[in-house]
Structure 1
Amino acid sequence: MTITFSYLVTTFFTSHLSAELGLSDNSIASYSDCMKLLIDYVCKRFTIQPETIDLSTITSELVLDFLHSLETKRGNAPATRNQRLAAIKTFFHFIARHVPELMQTNERIQAIKLKRTEHLPPPSLTAEEVDAILTTPDQQTLIGARDAALLQLLYNTGARVQELADISMSDLHVGSAPSVTVTGKGRKTRAIPLWQETVDAISRYVDFRKQEGIESEHLFINAKGDPLTRFGIGRRVVLHATTAANHCPSLQGRSITPHTFRHTTALHLIEANNDIGVVKDWLGHEDIKTASQYLEVSIERKRKAIEKLPPPDGGLPPESPQWRQPAILKFLNRCSRQARYVA
């Protein structure tokens, strides 16, 4: 059997990513986007059709040219470029297992370095900003009650937007110890405790659904009765954040997304003195290093807060370190020290 490029692409998606790695649909869709861009680039460069692509065509040099085109022609940021490169590396690592003669090509592609990206703290909200957004929906209507429950659950759980969209009625447990079960990356599930405010918001929304005769296994549904997608959730978050900005000036001009709530939940858990391991499990992170970034943000916020407090010496500015003092002050200090020894 001749192993073709088309065969490897198909097997990569149907067997490797899904069955072997157990990636989520969203992760697989991200890989698909990358492969479509790469195939389109190869076809245009060599004026060929996808089914005629030869494996030897894709070299490390071509991959570098492709990555360069992503940045220069598509305007991709270095982080997006790195994400595409990671997908290509995974694909060629898979290829090397099936086509040993391409192992050297794989090694060269694996050697392509990621670009440095600017390390920025994850965007988050203050408690006041969260409250401003949570109180925006009109809970006297079905849609308002739904959005109030959605925002409250988003902040309570810190769930990824797709995790939130996938929650079903059977995932809710509102007994003596209320919680919700979410399914994350790799189809791994985790149970997250719910505040009573969250339970009340969900119960209010569910009561509205019953009054409207709505029956759906999905928790969050749109006006047509279909499951609310992650894009729909994103639009609702933007809508209420924009509305809240009218009476919360610090929200004006900011881009608030469902992931902003995820960062906010993590940061607020850290600032409430929860163990970093608890935060890791709460958010469903694989590596504790990912959760550790919120420790840095928490320390920075505390530093900025203490800078706003008056110094403890009666409000006078602290004495400048000796090495920072102007020459005239150094001279006067020497004079002062000499004076102490005058009889």
Structure 2
Amino acid sequence: MVQHAPPAAGPFSNGAPGLDEKLAEAADQWLRRLAGERRVSPLTIDAYRRDLRQFLHFLRERRGASPDLAVLAELKPADLRAFMARRREDGVASRSLLRQLAALRSFARHLGREGLATVGVFDKVRSPKVARTLPKALVAARAREITAGETDMDEGRAPWIAARDAAVLSLLYGAGLRISEALSIRRGDAPVGRTDSLTIVGKGGKTRAVPAIAPVRAAVAAYLDICPHSLPKDGPLFVGARGGPLSPRIIQLTVERLRGALGLPDSATPHALRHSFATHLLSRGGDLRSIQELLGHASLSTTQIYTSIDKARLFEAYRAAHPRAE
């Protein structure tokens, strides 16, 4: 089974020296609960930790002293609006600010549940509106080009690294995985030989089974055949140049270089391959419920956005081909 690594350890106060001891202890308890009971992903835990530290740092500057539980209980809407304005000045987009407010609300609920403080300010301030944009899917031919691993950009790169990147990208498009999910696969779970499926633990600890189609298995096998590093069964399937765990940033940079080599738009990202997986399944008659399960979406409404993409592609084809479309 593919599982996420445990969240980064270390006291909350490590990144916020001088923080009130009771507040720091409450923050540590909150993060442990999210990771344990709620099974929130390590990446989200790290983001929430940063979000709370940034807010407390802002309060320290605004109040001239390190905040404590009593300060949080006395917060006014003006304090929160000032924080949101500061984040806007720092160039933070609405979607990131919305996530930060979600983290702060979660912490406030934790304080109330534990009887430590009642922080009601979040019920009095509206969250920023985020425009719902359709994911950018690639046409099938372009998606295949990205996952093929056969471009001029491979010159100067070790063949095994090119094969590794092609295998990772094949999992994103061929199985609809997120980068974090592909990189969390263990060597012992590699989809090769008779292993034609993967068990993935995605967001919120939700487990799902995804098929590993023949091109995906072939790409992974090609990588394993020439990988120079010893890969223990309980270790990561995909490793970096020195044999350590592969960073998601390496895959992102690979796709950036591929965009240049293939003349693709900026919207061609690793996550766009996952969007393409869903869009292409739907356009070929895939059932929305089945696609929801393959993607690991908790709600069908999240998956339904792909029906809008399919309609948009249909209208684009109509406008391009029909003699009376103009």
TM over 0.5, yes or no?
yes
Structure 2 unpaired stretches of 5+: 1-19
| Paired letter, 1:97 | R
1:260 matched to which residue of 2?
A: 272
CA separation of 1:87 and 1:234: change in aligned 2, threshold 3 A:
same
- How many angstroms apart in 2 are the aligned matches of 1:36 and 1:96? 19
CA separation of 1:177 and 1:162: change in aligned 2, threshold 3 A:
closer
RMSD of aligned residue pairs (Cα, Å): 2.5
Please state if 1:122 is matched with 2:135.
yes
CA separation of 1:229 and 1:50: change in aligned 2, threshold 3 A:
farther
Match of 1:158 among 155, 168, 176: 176
Match of 2:162 among 134, 144, 152: 144
Please state if 1:35 is matched with 2:48.
no
Please state if 1:199 is matched with 2:232.
no
Match of 1:96 among 109, 112, 115: 112
Match of 2:96 among 76, 80, 83: 80
CA deviation profile, 1:6-52 (whole Å, cap 9, x unmatched): 222121112x2122211110111111111111011011112223679
- How many angstroms apart in 2 are the aligned matches of 1:77 and 1:202? 37
| Paired letter, 1:307 | R
- How many angstroms apart in 1 are the aligned matches of 2:294 and 2:211? 9
Query: Which of the pair has more CA radius of gyration?
Result: 1
Please state if 1:109 is matched with 2:126.
no
| Contact 1:136/1:243 (8 A) holds in 2 | no
| Contact 1:89/1:110 (8 A) holds in 2 | no
Secondary structure at the counterpart of residue 198 of structure 2: strand
| Paired letter, 2:169 | L
Larger RCO (CA under 8 A, 6+ residues apart): 2
1:5 matched to which residue of 2?
A: 23
Please state if 1:295 is matched with 2:307.
yes
| Paired letter, 1:40 | H
- How many angstroms apart in 1 are the aligned matches of 2:107 and 2:210? 35
Secondary structure at the counterpart of residue 58 of structure 2: helix
- How many angstroms apart in 1 are the aligned matches of 2:28 and 2:179? 28
1:215 Cα deviation after fit: 2.6
- How many angstroms apart in 2 are the aligned matches of 1:284 and 1:88? 26
- What are the equivalent positions in structure 2 for 1:231-270 lying under 5 Å apart? 231-245=249-263, 251-252=264-265, 254-270=266-282
| Contact 2:282/2:310 (8 A) holds in 1 | yes
| Contact 1:158/1:263 (8 A) holds in 2 | yes
| Contact 1:125/1:261 (8 A) holds in 2 | yes
Secondary structure at the counterpart of residue 190 of structure 1: strand
- How many angstroms apart in 1 are the aligned matches of 2:37 and 2:200? 22
CA separation of 1:308 and 1:206: change in aligned 2, threshold 3 A:
same
Sequence identity of aligned pairs in percent? Answer: 26
Match of 2:246 among 219, 223, 228: 228
The number of equivalent residue pairs is 300
2:16 matched to which residue of 1?
A: none
Match of 1:215 among 228, 231, 238: 231
1:162 Cα deviation after fit: 0.8
1:132 Cα deviation after fit: 2.5
Secondary structure at the counterpart of residue 117 of structure 1: coil
- How many angstroms apart in 1 are the aligned matches of 2:79 and 2:142? 47
Secondary structure at the counterpart of residue 87 of structure 1: helix
For normalisation by structure 1, the TM-score amounts to 0.80
| Contact 2:172/2:271 (8 A) holds in 1 | no
1:224 Cα deviation after fit: 0.6
CA separation of 1:111 and 1:280: change in aligned 2, threshold 3 A:
farther
| Contact 1:59/1:109 (8 A) holds in 2 | no
CA deviation profile, 1:142-186 (whole Å, cap 9, x unmatched): 111111211111111121111111111222344556112222112
- How many angstroms apart in 2 are the aligned matches of 1:230 and 1:53? 40
Secondary structure at the counterpart of residue 129 of structure 1: helix
CA deviation profile, 1:217-237 (whole Å, cap 9, x unmatched): 211111110110222222222
